[in-house]
Amino acid sequence: MSAPLVGALLGLALAVGVVLVIGQWRAPGQVSKRILPLVHATGFEWRRSTQPPGHSAVSIRMIRLLDYVVSDASVHRRLVKAGLDPSIERFRLDQLRWAGGGALVVVGFGLLKLLAGDPLPAVAWLIFTLLAAGVSAMACDYWLSRRAAVRAEQITTELPAFAELLAFTVAAGLAPASALSRVADRVGGELAVELRQACVEVADGRPFADSLEAMADRTGSGPVQRFVDGIVVAMERGTPIADVLRAQAMDARAVGHRQLMESASRREIFALIPVVFLILPAVVVVAVFPGVIGLAL
């Protein structure tokens, strides 16, 4: 690729950027900015949307494109499960930043190759840039999935100890809602965060069973869902909650033990990799090499 062609492409990109910036600067203000003073003058309370300020037309179009790749419902569910800000627009902007960073790395590499006198083909440069942007955006989505999964595992690990503490507190004579608030204020971890939010919802007037079910939905943990279902059923049928909580704690510990055994069995397979591909070939080479040298001599 010749130097004039590279200069023309860079000049075209710069011109498009300047036009977009000028168009955004000269664009009329948002509708909310124009009518908000008039609405406030009437005394009517009006709330703006949760969309972060500073969105340009290009960023909004890119966010709509990302919505087609991964649905908003999936992103919102994983954001809540990971304990992050449930704003989908903010996560989409983070994805755009990741994609821009990946594309910038490829563009910088191409410029270095150009300055070194070995330029990349224009088509390959463009393909690599788009590919890096897409991979970076998917890496951001994968990071969110991993964070949600790790938090769910941590909550599952904390559940047995919490269930036992709650059983002791209920057996001491406290009501389930009061026992939940008492235990949540004295324990730490991710499960305690969800418990405190459930206690706040109960204090605001939400039914206790609905708050527990909402907490189970936010965590995305199967043992927590079964634990909440056991409490709700016990409250509806009048079963002694202390006995139910003890049984739920034993069940949660059994689930944790089973998951630990499954994880250990998978680690055994991974432990064979260095034995088969490193230690065994080295032993074979050490055993066969003297004979090969003897035959050669």
Residues 125 and 177 in one domain: no
Can you give the pLDDT at residue 47?
Answer: 45
pLDDT for position 75: 82
**Residue 187 covered by a domain:** yes
Which domain does 189 fall in, by range?
154-256
Say yes or no: 58 and 95 in one domain. yes
99: in domain: yes
**Does this model's pTM top 0.75?**
no
In a shared domain, residues 81 and 187: no
| 146 in the same domain as 75 | yes
Q: What is the pLDDT, as a whole number, of residue 48? A: 43
164 and 139 assigned to the same domain: no
SS (H, E, C) the chain: CCHHHHHHHHHHHHHHHHHHHHHHHHCCCCHHHHHHHHHHHCCCCCCCCCCCCCCCHHHHHHHHHHHHHCCHHHHHHHHHHHCCCCCHHHHHHHHHHHHHHHHHHHHHHHHHHHHCCCCCCHHHHHHHHHHHHHHHHHHHHHHHHHHHHHHHHHHHHHHHHHHHHHHHHHHCCCCHHHHHHHHHCCCCCHHHHHHHHHHHHHHCCCCHHHHHHHHHHHHCCHHHHHHHHHHHHHHHHCCCHHHHHHHHHHHHHHHHHHHHHHHHHHHHHHHHHHHHHHHHHHHHHHHHHHHHHHHHC
What would the pLDDT profile of 12-63 be if each residue is shown by its tens digit?
A: 666 666 666 565 555 454 545 555 555 544 444 444 444 444 455 545 555 5
pLDDT digit string, tens, across residues 278-297? 888 888 888 887 877 777 77
The string of pLDDT tens digits covering residues 118-153 is 887 888 888 888 898 888 888 888 998 899 889 888
Per residue in 226-264, pLDDT (tens digit) is 888 888 888 888 778 878 888 877 887 887 788 778 877
Quick check: is 63 in a domain? yes
- pLDDT band, very low/low/confident/very high, at 9 (cuts 50, 70, 90): low
The answer to the question of residue 167 being in a domain is yes
